[in-house]
Structure 1
């Protein structure tokens, strides 16, 4: 049985996941938060679990003491910050109602219209380090791009966005960010969002109209007379920001690293970008999501009654963690799963989940990923890794997985 959740595992969890898929595909273990949970590693079992209504998203179905061990589930700080009423923590019918309301504001049209702004952000960030001939792509590119993008989309004023960058850095332990803990950052972000929503709601009531940003859209969203409460709107804005920035940080960081480690595949994509082949670019992003995606494990689920999963008896109240990274390298589903193939066409990966909890922000993350990678390959065509891969460290543990730093070199450009 390989070791799980130590720093070596974080650097390359795939051999351990391959062992689990073969020998213990639904395996009970104690995770770093202290909770005993079932890890689901085969694609078929993972897809079943992600859509199984007997597996609840609500933490109320989990006992924090007793057989499961002492520990916490969910996003750190969300309970104390009164941020529990978001799509990652609720089941139908509340989930159905909230998702329907949020979808009225977070539309494909709104995401598509945001593409020029994402391109502008990518170019501006590259302008900031292009003349140096070297950069840390996580700190200077992959991290700030989605933060500024989601702030712009939410309607956070320009003068407040550096606060969001600081809070986000604290939440994922970004080097150079102020110390103070995840919980404190979540509380500060929650307080700011509540105040911003209150101001935007007052503006809407006073003028009868407001800005065309996502928070204003959440406030205006209605369905048969139903509206989001201020607390629901704050929780939804928070989870869109939280889920929408770290997943994209890791998509850009992990994706760029994979391309640097596979020069033949990178050359294929670089030619496609130069030729304006958006089809291959889209296919490439899907393969990068499968090969080394930003979300290692799906968020917590809890059995509402006894069930059998992968031949194992899962008792009522048991926590279940679907290991997306393991399922997406299952040889029973994917040909040559450990091979990066940017032209892979039959690619039904689980990188953004499956079923009613499929990631609402996936279209925005894909847009940002495609734009960030294409701009990087176009602007810095001779990009190369400036560190031994063995020296790189990863943020791992639970849910997300991404590089802490990604030092690169290239020909300096004015």
Structure 2
């Protein structure tokens, strides 16, 4: 789960029309291996201005030191209104969410959900995550093989986050389809329609939950939302214990300054739902793919199952679920990596590029699950600073449980070349579209 700092609407940027190098010279090549392009850019300069695929300029930051510095620089803001051309940038995503606001609003919004994603509460979710995992594997066991993305890597985190927030089971397939279109980079029109449909759905869902929470048994309705058949042991926010998280957020701080506005509640639901499954699904499928592509690493894991945490961390470093964090905007002129950034300009902070910077990691293009944990832990897959991903503990737990159970159930797991080749999605995130495997 990546509850904050995944991609947001693209900026138009500022400045002249001088010739700039394209961020993506070839979409197919970039989709297959963005790290090659990031290495080229980093070798030229770790901070430079490029032309985005939709024809507008922005700064790309590819150096590990520079990305880490930018993530904690108070002059770089998340609120799109700091962009010189923010009214043309697409504005906010669905609702007003944590990855598009700055303190003090960010502090207030984050505090409302922080308690749900502590290590203690995430640990309490473990048995339910294991149960969902086993149910998915039980359904796969009679088959000779499957597309692991659609049959396992996506359904697991989708089920977990939907149960946590209280999204009805019958709605999850449609929600997953909308989410996939929203984060896909190749079809803006379809993404817009999906965003409108998701907005309408979430608005109705929130209204239903608020209504359900106010009913009493005497009025013929439940005293709380019954949307989730498996209420999570940690599904409580700072208020509303006993409710699913979305209902609790709707009721939190009712009548005081801490209360969420309707736009903020919508944004919170959108962010937690989309970030809560897209990035975790990418983590699971990428980890399986990398292990199958590196049989020596898979053999090392089978010989020493305690390396499972190393698999999760090295996957996060080597193929992070998001190529970059949310756009940053210069609230004032600043210098980054020796380069002057004008006020109002947009910056892309590439955590994927930072995680492969040879100045930060030894032999960074080698997938090695036995790396020194202290060194690997410095990766930026979950961001850094005040926008560090709230859902990191949940993502790590789901990834470890999923991989351990999958490899135990299917000791002969292998790529299935007869039914296609693994394909990366052209997306704002970094994940496989398909992963055909056999067992």
Asked whether the two chains share a fold, i.e. TM above 0.5, the reply is yes
CA-CA distance at 1:302 after TM superposition: 0.7
CA distance 1:33–1:64, shift in 2 (3 Å): farther
Deviates more, 1:388-397 or 1:112-121: 388-397
The CA deviation string for residues 322-358 of structure 1, in whole angstroms up to 9 with x for no partner, is: 1111100111111121111212212210001001111
- After TM superposition, the structure 1 = structure 2 runs for residues 13-412 of structure 1, keeping only pairs within 5 Å, are 13-64=34-85, 72=89, 79=93, 83-172=94-183, 181-207=190-216, 211-222=242-253, 226-273=258-305, 277=306, 280-344=307-371, 345=373, 346-347=375-376, 348-387=378-417, 391-396=421-426, 399-410=428-439
User: Do 2:421 and 2:436's aligned partners in 1 also have CA atoms closer than 8 Å?
Assistant: no
CA-CA distance at 1:38 after TM superposition: 0.7
CA RMSD across the alignment:
2.7
User: Do 1:28 and 1:37's aligned partners in 2 also have CA atoms closer than 8 Å?
Assistant: yes
CA-CA distance at 1:131 after TM superposition: 1.9
Secondary structure of the 1:132 match is coil
User: Do 2:84 and 2:343's aligned partners in 1 also have CA atoms closer than 8 Å?
Assistant: no
C-alpha separation in 2, matches of 1:281 and 1:221? 38
User: Do 2:327 and 2:348's aligned partners in 1 also have CA atoms closer than 8 Å?
Assistant: yes
C-alpha separation in 1, matches of 2:358 and 2:120? 37
Matched residue count: 390
Deviates more, 1:244-253 or 1:153-162: 153-162
C-alpha separation in 2, matches of 1:257 and 1:72? 36
C-alpha separation in 2, matches of 1:95 and 1:44? 25
CA distance 1:381–1:254, shift in 2 (3 Å): same
User: Do 2:117 and 2:393's aligned partners in 1 also have CA atoms closer than 8 Å?
Assistant: no
CA distance 1:254–1:73, shift in 2 (3 Å): farther
CA distance 1:160–1:4, shift in 2 (3 Å): same
Shift >6 Å, 4+ stretches: none
Q: For structure 1, which runs of at least 5 residues remain unmatched after alignment?
A: none
Secondary structure of the 2:348 match is strand
Deviates more, 1:299-308 or 1:14-23: 14-23
CA-CA distance at 1:260 after TM superposition: 0.7
User: Do 1:55 and 1:303's aligned partners in 2 also have CA atoms closer than 8 Å?
Assistant: yes
- TM-score norm. by structure 1 comes to 0.86
C-alpha separation in 2, matches of 1:186 and 1:243? 14
CA distance 1:320–1:380, shift in 2 (3 Å): same
The CA deviation string for residues 232-260 of structure 1, in whole angstroms up to 9 with x for no partner, is: 22210110111111111211121111111
CA-CA distance at 1:121 after TM superposition: 2.0
Q: For structure 2, which runs of at least 5 residues remain unmatched after alignment?
A: 1-20, 217-222, 226-241
- TM-score norm. by structure 2 comes to 0.82
CA-CA distance at 1:180 after TM superposition: 7.7
Deviates more, 1:355-364 or 1:205-214: 205-214
The CA deviation string for residues 210-252 of structure 1, in whole angstroms up to 9 with x for no partner, is: 6432112323434976222333222101101111111112111
